[in-house]
A and B are shown apart, each in its own frame.
Chain A
Amino acid sequence: MNKNTNSSNLRRVCVTLTVASLASMLFLSGCAASSGAGSAKASKEEGIKHRVSESDIASTKGATPIASPKIALWINGMGCPQCVTNVDLQLERIKGTKDIRVDLANGKVYATFTESPLPTPDRLSKAIDDAGLTLVKIEPAK
């Protein structure tokens, strides 16, 4: 194999990769743009942007046990059913956890804790962090 053939092939690889990458990126950015521009028509899930304050985020790091045994965790990055299985598996390691329910439509996970002391926000935050996702708010649930 001579050098000319090698460099010719390398050029071909680069061109193919670049074209394929650009096409994919353009397609994706097109999708993103269309969902953003037509926000009124955008699907609900494309608009899941948790509205949280700085204090909401800061409170997920608290060291005082949560007040309510039933909580809703507002989570970012739950892209697919299997992504959130990691959440189940990490939350189950917290003592007294039961009734974990995932709501992919609203980006929330509901859980009930039956044993005292109840977990701290920091412990819950670590579980979600270990699961590879981002906890942005903890609120009491009904």
Chain B
Amino acid sequence: MTHHQPASGGRSVRSLTRLACLASLACLGLAPGANAQEAMYTAAATMPSPGVSVLRQQFHYYKLGFSETEGFERAEKLEIKNSIQYGLIKDLSISLDAPIEFSKVKPINTGSESTANLDELDLTLKYRFYQDDPGGIDTTRVALLLGNRFRTDGRFSSDPHVGVVYTQVAGRHGFNAEAHYTFNTGSDTGAPNYGGEGDADALNLNLAYVLRISPVEFTPESQSAWYVTAEINQIYELNGDYEARFSPGIMYEGRRWGFEIMAQIPIYTHLNNRARQQLALGLGWRFIF
């Protein structure tokens, strides 16, 4: 459940822009890594080890089309998702997401409205309960996700979510599957719903295929790798809305840092309560330290 709190004039927008820039610089300054083998929109059963942190920042651009039910002609959003994940003990990590949003909505028959806000904070525990490493590279892992989203506008709201994620790496091929259910208990603020953010509970089913393209075979000197990724991201909301998206991308992993570029294209939609997503683009980097 997202909320969109209109920024009070240009000053708030400038403050948030400044905050976003500082967050970006902090990520760059802290340097190095990532949740290994994790594509942009699908979680992986990988995590930092005890006492280790992974800083991740993603820039997401979303564009929605006309929605009569939501009362706008089009809507756009730039979300800067700042995340930090910390390894608590072996097989257990905690992550905090603090997204900053810049939104532009063109209501029907009126002019455009721009807003900027700190979106809901998301605190999530990841517990890896299964691991099998049959070879030097190959691995199979399964993890449980348990988290909660909190509003940041002073009003109490709690949207708990639970999920399970499966990861398999076989040579240069990686596969992630994630099922995630969100109990949307907060009240709808009337802001555009970009998928799973409305009043209805949401089930996300994500699949990601990760193929290492360079090096095709690691050498003793290999310290980095390039991957192509392909995801299918599905959102089913209990009000009947369903959307499936295809997300191709490219990912780079160095030893201590990585970056990723993705696009998201709708492949099937059946929506009665919200607008269809026309396009989404994503760019992100991550550091491990």
CB-based contact A130/B49 at 8 Å: yes
B168 within 8 A of A: yes
A138 within 8 A of B: no
A80 to chain B: closest residue by CB: B36
CB-based contact A106/B220 at 8 Å: yes
Q: How many residues of chain A have a CB within 8 Å of chain B?
A: 54
B256 within 8 A of A: yes
CB-based contact A77/B175 at 8 Å: no
A20 within 8 A of B: yes
B37 to chain A: closest residue by CB: A80
Chain B residue contacts of A24, Cβ below 8 A: 175, 177, 207, 209
CB-based contact B33/A107 at 8 Å: no
A132 within 8 A of B: yes
Within 8 A of B (CB), among A79-101: 79-86, 88-90, 93
With contact pairs A31-B170, A77-B138, A82-B258 given, residues A45 and B217 touching in the complex (Cβ less than 8 Å)? yes
A68 within 8 A of B: no
CB-based contact A50/B170 at 8 Å: no
> What separation, in Å, do the CA atoms of A28 and B239 have in the docked complex?
34
Partner of A50, one of B37, B90, B131, B135: B135
A86 to chain B: closest residue by CB: B49
A59-87 CB mask vs B (1 if < 8 Å, else 0) is 00000000000000001111111111110
B139 within 8 A of A: yes
CB distance from A42 to the nearest CB of B (A): 9
Chain B: number of interface residues, binned into ranges: 35 or more
A5 within 8 A of B: yes
Within 8 A of B (CB), among A8-64: 9-10, 12-13, 16-17, 20-21, 24-25, 27-28, 31-32, 35, 43-46, 48-50
> What separation, in Å, do the CA atoms of A35 and B134 have in the docked complex?
15
B208 to chain A: closest residue by CB: A24
B234 within 8 A of A: yes
Chain A residue contacts of B288, Cβ below 8 A: 82, 85-86, 89
CB-based contact B49/A90 at 8 Å: yes
Partner of B137, one of A9, A88, A107: A107
CB distance from A25 to the nearest CB of B (A): 8
With contact pairs A16-B244, A105-B217, A105-B218 given, residues A76 and B135 touching in the complex (Cβ less than 8 Å)? yes
Partner of B209, one of A27, A86, A133: A27
A6 within 8 A of B: yes
With contact pairs A45-B171, A89-B49 given, residues A83 and B36 touching in the complex (Cβ less than 8 Å)? yes
Chain B residue contacts of A32, Cβ below 8 A: 170
CB distance from A43 to the nearest CB of B (A): 5
CB-based contact B170/A48 at 8 Å: no
Q: Interface with A: B75-83, B101-109, B184-192, B222-230, which one? A: B222-230
> What separation, in Å, do the CA atoms of A89 and B254 have in the docked complex?
15
Give the interface of A toward B (CB within 8 A).
Answer: 1, 5-6, 9-10, 12-13, 16-17, 20-21, 24-25, 27-28, 31-32, 35, 43-46, 48-50, 75-86, 88-90, 93, 102-108, 129-134
The 5 closest A-B pairs by CB, nearest first: A107-B136, A48-B136, A77-B133, A76-B133, A79-B169
